[in-house]
Structure 1
Amino acid sequence: MELYGAEDRERIVAEPPKRVAAPERTQFERDRARLVHAASTRRLAAKTQVVGPQADDFVRNRLTHSLEVAQVARDLSRALNGPDSPQPDIAETAALAHDLGHPPFGHNGESVLAERAKGIGGFEGNAQTLRLLTRLEAKTFDAEGRSVGLNLTRATLDACTKYPWGFGERAGSKFGVYEDDLPVFTWLRAAGAGQRQCVEAQIMDLSDDVAYSVHDVEDGIVAGKIDLARLDLDGVAETVVDWYVPGFDRALAETAITDLAAAGCWIPDGAAYDASRRSRAMLKNLTSDVIGRFCGAVKEATDAAGGGPYARFGADLVVPEQTRLEIAWLKGIAAHYVMRTDERAVRMDRQRNLLGELVDHLVATGPDDLDRQFADDWRDASDDAARLRVVIDQVASLTDITALAWHERLCRRP
């Protein structure tokens, strides 16, 4: 049975065969190659994951995180559908793209742009990702001369849609499309899908949770902020409740640790991380074991619920409650020891002020200080709301490093 038909492989703009001979590739392999070569992908190397990208050359940035999410997504998809399925290419591409829309300074920067953009339909990293893929990245133009971004296939774009609804359509701050991107969003969504994620997006979403829950703890250990042998269990449990799982049960939390330890997925007592080669190897084996545990549990539960093949809206991923709890517990460890520190709070406050000042300056000066492509968008904008969206696009495109440099150059000049 063919998992993906002609409609799934369709692009916004039909593309003729390549004029230059090239190795034979499927449409979904082409999508992946476009993501790898995209400018937005390269910029992820200088964007914050948890610890800033300048802090240490061992910890992760958004690019290395995205590569790891892509590997988890590909392996999980292959496990579900077999090695000959085209789905691993779709899931991997969606994973590579999942953080493209994040602005400088991660979620901290996202909150600033969301505040500045609340009168024009908000800002959200996932909605910005769709905008990049279908408009802002330079690859293909339609017959009317409008950019359609990377011109990815319908199935791949849908797999990149983590939150398939618009601003204000559901409670909370998360959404996946701005109002002026609704035409392409409507095009990529299957009839009758509503607000349901396709299974490829579910794979991407879970792989992101798995990767960052495990790797953020690893980075915290390497940075000397986390010692798994001496956890403040009460503090971690409180953070899990506040940030991730309201109603989280402390007893269940302790069960999660016990189960991870029983499976060999924990640092042995007395084996504190000391940055030696042996210690680093022990830590890498820990992360590998935990990722394997999570993905194995999901595959087993998904197969038990009905079997494959799993494609588009023909199936759903099944994540056992115990697995969700263990993932939440690891997130809580990283959040408690790295993200909620007083030192980080001071730094985040400075970052928010910096980005806010930069947005205000660019709104006031307009195209004079924008990059060429955004200056063109400004001149084409029909009103102040559209011009503000251009400024938001510009600032969101910056890395941590360039945001600092732009602020120094533009906001502190005499």
Structure 2
Amino acid sequence: MTAAAASPVFSSAPAAPSASDVPESAVSRWAVGLMSGTSLDGVDAALIHSDGRTVRAFGPARTCPYPPELREAVRAILGERGGEEAIAAVERTLTDIHAEAVEDLLAAAGLTARQVAVVGFHGQTINHRPQERHTRQIGDGARLAARLGCPVVYDFRTADVKAGGQGAPLVPVYHQALCAGQDHAGQDAPGVTAVLNIGGVANVTVLAAGQAPLAFDTGPGNALLDDWALRHTGVAVDRDGALARQGQVDAAALGRLMAHPYFSRRPPKSLDRDDFAALARCVDGLSAADGAATLAAFTVEACATARDWMPQAPARWLVCGGGRHNPTLMAALRQRLAVPVEPVESRGWDGDALEAQAFAFLALRHLDGLPQTFPETTGCPAPMTGGRLALP
């Protein structure tokens, strides 16, 4: 599909509220957000001070890596394999590690749990099949609330999926809030900005003044490359892009990967971590370096193809998530997209903490009954709130 043939899926809507638009009844409070993504590398925890409409202040952030045995245990239950007893055991361990991350974060911030309005607990996705109206993120919200002694909002995706939405991405409303009152592409580059999150799966939020955010999963992020690196090097990441940098892209294999029907589907759309795993076996005959180079190129080409669904090509891409730490991937994105591609730190944001911050923001929106997902971001029929509240 060419850009000229694509149909943009962008609708007019008010921009995110500015501080002057926030009602006086909106109260800014401390909230903790927790994110454990499809990279399966650990828990990010972050504090923000917000009213769920604008962000007033950022607190500290922490990353709590998964022990290798937990990472493998999570891998073993992806797709809800292993049975409910195995899933429940992993869920307990995973919830307790999230609790430790919150306790460490609050200690670093000099806060107690009673000074926190809410914890936004994303949990760990183990199955995501929105076409079947099913998604599952494990994480025991009641157990976490009881241990911490403060309210916890969890299970953010299920309501959206049951209503016919994709349940992802959830972060666009936070991206919009961060950009509120700013030119979306920077003062020196007016136009559309794409905020690209490269986690295990990659997703994009497209922001333009006076338009509702458009968002969808672009395709693979780090997951395929991480799994490849683990099999060939014993380390579950291509650190600094060193392996891919040594290889050559196999054009035939890349062509087979890009022939996946996902790329011709109209957004909103989303992916499970392993949706491309079977197809990615087409690189199995390549050397370790060539396979890594081809899988990295797959991530880049998927991002480039995502432009076909945008009303105009972005003037700038802001990158968050673990992928922005891979210089080989970032260099390839800059070459392929041919516009500025910068880590979100160029905006003063924390790219490692951004998704965790977003779940603090979403939890606050849940408390106030504000929508979190929208037809343009997940395909839900109308703006929807989401999540379940667990009280201590």
- TM-score, scaled relative to structure 2: 0.31
Larger strand share, 1 or 2: 2
Compare the two structures and name the one with the higher helix fraction. Answer: 1
Q: Which protein shows a greater Rg? A: 1
Which structure ranks higher in relative contact order (CA pairs < 8 Å, sequence separation ≥ 6)? 2
What TM-score, normalized to structure 1?
A: 0.30
